[in-house]
């Protein structure tokens, strides 16, 4: 079983976002960057599948700048075997050029399964995994919360509004991971040390032109200042009245 | 002059409310671009597509086939992409639902065009201009579409549907015989507990660590029940990570983004990643014992104090107010 896991370096979800002077990007100074949280589920799943099979390879692939090497090393520390950085200094907001670069890398790799996190915590496009699958013309299931792989086939569950879809396909396939798919392991010290010696190949790439241009990055509008209706249970009638008569939501 | 295509989501043969929102936004774009609004729906035979003409579609393409009873990613994507290619549309609009989040990128990849996901505002100013939240809602991008076509998924509950009568002439289409290799949806399971999804609920009652123990969520379930059939229970990341509530209920940057009419945050301190997921709610109520909790900074109405006294009283008062 040969699995690729595509990962991204993103700001920590607890980080405050500061907009840069150009008004089109974020100020990265002082921002802690991490492995995209959803990608952790993808890596964990790949490692479990390899462990269950008793053989195989887990390759971590990322599109990004040099700093993404650190992100790949985090995945290697969890237990992946080797990494590939598809190096570009400018990640566009349009997911298609990134999906094309990943598909180009993956198509000759002989992978049985390609895993992604379902969404990146920075651009929130939830697009790249499904796009790569379409470009590779292989079946795919997105936002998967339960996965089983056996005899060249997979069965997956994905949550929808008010239900769960059960989806099946043959390998090779692309799967994107939803939170809850598994409980990702923390890299152990031994893993961190080993990761330093694992192969990490850097391949410079020129991405295709994006079809979307950034005009501006801004903070969301401030909410109008609210008010404290009161303290304790005695404030409840006033709250209900405000919700009925002022806000008109009851 | 360019036309626009709105994808009408259906489940179990009924067109979802998000389709009205896609039509409304599509009408705005089509008018701005001086073109027509077309709609497309894929699903089982017997679909009623009245809504298309009622919400501004000049024409509606209907791909009805038993093979499309359940959502089938490849079949649906091929059908919409084929129509989009044939029609040369400037934009393909759909809702950013579980289905739309899966389908949108597939259509875009097949067309070789960009996708703008989870869009909250849309306009025509020279070209198509889009606003969409990023970093889980901590910032907003304003984007210009430079490609000749763009797939745009719309955040549900964000665009107010406006009825605009157009002819909505029905044109049946045949679904592609060969949609390539795709994963088959074999069935849809009922969820373990039948509950309204937080992204679809008009009211969300969310709980955090302040509830102290998982069984205390009963207080919120009672409050949601008192608020009627349109209320859902949500949860903060802390309580989901602790295993108190299912992930499907999590609101925030690594959970769901919601924009209900009313969001009641109970015992939720308001971590930055939680605020990111609910700050676009129309009205926010916060109940918390800590008067300095960040949740009060985004709340329209706050009550400071012991939630174990406040919430049962609130449930009672709402029952009285609603006359039940």
A84 touches chain B (CB under 8 A): no
Residue at B65 is within a domain? yes
- Are B111 and B61 found together in one domain? yes
Residue at B259 is within a domain? yes
Query: Are the Cβ atoms of B305 and A128 closer than 8 angstroms?
Result: no
Identify the domain boundary among B150, B172, B194. B172
- Predicted local confidence at residue B109, as pLDDT: 98
The shortest CB-CB distance from B182 to any of A139, A178, A212 is to A139
Query: Are the Cβ atoms of B135 and A26 closer than 8 angstroms?
Result: yes
Residue at B177 is within a domain? no
Residue written as tokens 């809602």?
A: B137
Q: Are strands B127-134 and B121-125 parallel, antiparallel or unpaired?
A: antiparallel
Chain A, residues 186-225, CB within 8 A of chain B, namely 210-220, 223-224
Query: Are the Cβ atoms of B284 and A226 closer than 8 angstroms?
Result: yes
Residue at B47 is within a domain? yes
Looking at the complex, report in whole angstroms how far the Cα of residue B240 sits from the nearest Cα belonging to chain A. 10
Residue at A134 is within a domain? yes
Residue at A229 is within a domain? no
Residue at A74 is within a domain? yes
Interchain CB contacts (distance < 8 Å): A and B: 287
Please write the tens of the pLDDT for every residue from B80-109.
999 999 999 999 999 999 999 999 999 999
Identify the domain boundary among B172, B195, B229. B172
A229 touches chain B (CB under 8 A): yes
Exposure of B75 in the CB half-sphere (CA atoms within 13 A): 21
Look up the domain containing A158 and give its range: 2-204
pTM for the whole structure: 0.93
Residue at B198 is within a domain? no
Alpha helices in B3-71 (DSSP H): 17-33, 50-54
Question: Which residues, including other chains, have CB under 8 Å from residue B94's CB and lie 6 or more apart?
Answer: B6, B7, B9, B22, B100, B103, B104, B151, B152, B153, B154
- Are B210 and B163 found together in one domain? no
CA angle B245, A250, B262 (to 5 degrees): 45
Per-residue tens of pLDDT for chain B, all 324 residues: 699 999 999 999 999 999 999 999 999 999 999 999 999 999 999 999 999 999 999 999 999 999 999 999 999 999 999 999 999 999 999 999 999 999 999 999 999 999 999 999 999 999 999 999 999 889 999 999 999 999 999 999 889 999 999 999 999 999 998 888 899 999 999 876 667 899 989 999 999 999 999 999 999 999 999 998 889 999 999 999 999 999 999 999 889 999 999 999 999 999 999 998 999 899 999 999 999 999 999 999 999 999 999 999 999 999 998 875
- Predicted local confidence at residue A162, as pLDDT: 84
For residue B324, list chain A residues with Cβ-Cβ distance below 8 A.
none
Looking at the complex, report in whole angstroms how far the Cα of residue A124 sits from the nearest Cα belonging to chain B. 6
Inter-axis angle of helices A95-106 and A128-136, to 10 degrees?
50
ipTM: 0.95
Residue at A239 is within a domain? no
DSSP class of residue B187 equals E
Identify the domain boundary among B123, B155, B172. B172
- Are B314 and B217 found together in one domain? yes
Q: What CATH number does residue A129 fall under?
A: 3.40.50.620
Q: Which of A156, A153, A155, A157 is nearest to A171 (CA)?
A: A153
DSSP class of residue B282 equals S
Residue at B180 is within a domain? no
- Are B20 and B146 found together in one domain? yes
For residue B318, list chain A residues with Cβ-Cβ distance below 8 A.
240, 250
- Are B210 and B156 found together in one domain? no
Residue at A23 is within a domain? yes
Question: Which residues, including other chains, have CB under 8 Å from residue A181's CB and lie 6 or more apart?
Answer: A41, A42, A44, A45, A144, A145, A146, A147
Look up the domain containing B22 and give its range: 4-172
Residue at B182 is within a domain? no
Query: Are the Cβ atoms of B181 and A138 closer than 8 angstroms?
Result: yes
Residue at A228 is within a domain? no
- Are B113 and B208 found together in one domain? no
- Are B220 and B150 found together in one domain? no
- Are B60 and B150 found together in one domain? yes
Looking at the complex, report in whole angstroms how far the Cα of residue A118 sits from the nearest Cα belonging to chain B. 10
Per-residue tens of pLDDT for chain A, all 250 residues: 999 999 999 999 888 899 999 999 999 999 999 999 999 999 999 999 999 999 999 999 999 999 999 999 999 999 999 999 999 998 999 999 999 999 999 999 999 999 999 999 999 999 999 999 999 999 999 999 999 999 999 999 999 998 999 999 999 999 999 999 999 999 999 999 999 999 999 999 999 999 999 999 999 988 888 999 999 999 999 999 999 999 999 8
- Predicted local confidence at residue B194, as pLDDT: 64
Q: What domain count does chain B have? A: 2
- Are B211 and B103 found together in one domain? no
- Predicted local confidence at residue A113, as pLDDT: 98
Question: Which residues, including other chains, have CB under 8 Å from residue B105's CB and lie 6 or more apart?
Answer: A95, A99, A125, A126, A127, A128, A129, A130, A131, A134, B115, B117, B151
Q: What domain count does chain A have? A: 1
- Are B260 and B316 found together in one domain? yes
Q: What CATH number does residue B40 fall under?
A: 3.40.50.620
- Are B17 and B153 found together in one domain? yes
Residue written as tokens 């100020």?
A: A27
What tokens appear for B25 in the block? 């936004």
Q: What CATH number does residue B254 fall under?
A: 3.40.50.1220
């Amino acid at each position: 079983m040969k699995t690729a896991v595509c990962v991204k370096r993103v700001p920590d979800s607890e980080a405050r976002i500061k907009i840069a002077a150009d008004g089109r990007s974020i100020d990265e100074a002082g921002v802690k960057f991490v492995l995209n949280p959803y990608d952790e589920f993808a890596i964990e799943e790949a490692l479990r599948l390899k462990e269950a099979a008793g053989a195989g390879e887990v390759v971590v692939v990322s599109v990004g700048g040099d700093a993404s090497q650190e992100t790949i090393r985090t995945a290697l520390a969890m237990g992946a075997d080797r990494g590939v950085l598809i190096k570009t200094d400018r990640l566009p907001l349009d997911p298609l050029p990134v999906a094309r670069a990943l598909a180009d890398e993956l198509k000759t790799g002989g992978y049985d399964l390609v895993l992604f996190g379902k969404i990146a915590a920075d651009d929130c496009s939830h697009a790249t995994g499904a796009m790569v699958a379409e470009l590779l013309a292989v079946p795919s299931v997105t936002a998967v919360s339960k996965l089983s792989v056996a005899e060249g086939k997979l069965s997956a569950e994905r949550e929808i509004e008010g239900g769960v879809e059960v989806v099946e396909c043959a390998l090779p396939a692309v799967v994107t991971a939803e939170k809850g798919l598994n409980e990702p392991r923390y890299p152990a010290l031994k893993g961190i040390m080993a990761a330093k010696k694992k192969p990490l190949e850097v391949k410079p790439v020129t991405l295709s032109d994006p079809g979307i241009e950034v005009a501006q990055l801004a903070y969301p509008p401030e909410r109008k200042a609210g008010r404290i209706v009161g303290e304790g249970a005695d404030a409840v009638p006033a709250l209900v009245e405000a919700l009925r008569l002022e806000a008109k939501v009851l | 002059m360019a036309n626009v295509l709105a994808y009408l989501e259906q489940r179990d043969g009924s067109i979802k409310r998000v389709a009205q929102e896609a039509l409304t936004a599509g009408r705005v774009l089509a008018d701005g671009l001086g073109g027509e609004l077309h709609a497309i729906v894929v699903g089982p035979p017997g679909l009623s597509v009245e809504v298309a003409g009622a919400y501004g579609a000049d024409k509606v393409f209907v791909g009805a086939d038993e093979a499309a009873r359940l959502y089938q990613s490849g079949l649906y994507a091929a059908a919409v992409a084929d129509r989009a290619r044939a029609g040369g549309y400037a934009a393909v609009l759909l809702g950013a639902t579980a289905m739309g989040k899966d389908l949108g990128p597939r259509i875009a990849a097949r067309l070789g065009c960009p996708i703008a996901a989870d869009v909250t505002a849309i306009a025509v100013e020279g070209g198509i201009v889009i606003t969409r939240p990023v970093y889980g809602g901590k910032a907003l991008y304003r984007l210009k579409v430079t490609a000749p076509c763009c797939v745009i998924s719309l955040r549900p509950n964000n665009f107010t549907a406006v009825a605009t009568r157009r002819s909505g002439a029905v044109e049946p289409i045949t679904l592609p015989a060969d949609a390539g290799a795709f994963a088959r949806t074999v069935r849809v399971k009922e969820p373990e507990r039948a509950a309204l999804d937080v992204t679809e609920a008009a009211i969300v009652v969310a709980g955090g660590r302040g509830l102290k123990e998982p069984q205390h969520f009963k207080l919120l379930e009672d409050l949601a029940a008192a608020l009627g059939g349109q209320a859902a229970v949500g949860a903060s990341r802390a309580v989901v990570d602790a295993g108190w509530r299912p992930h499907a209920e999590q609101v925030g940057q690594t959970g769901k983004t919601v924009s209900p009419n009313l969001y009641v945050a109970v015992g939720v301190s308001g971590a930055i990643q939680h605020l990111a997921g609910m700050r676009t709610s129309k009205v926010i109520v916060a109940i918390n014992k800590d008067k300095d909790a960040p949740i009060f900074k985004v709340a329209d109405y706050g009550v400071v104090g012991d939630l174990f006294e406040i919430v049962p009283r609130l449930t009672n008062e709402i029952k009285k107010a609603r006359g039940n």
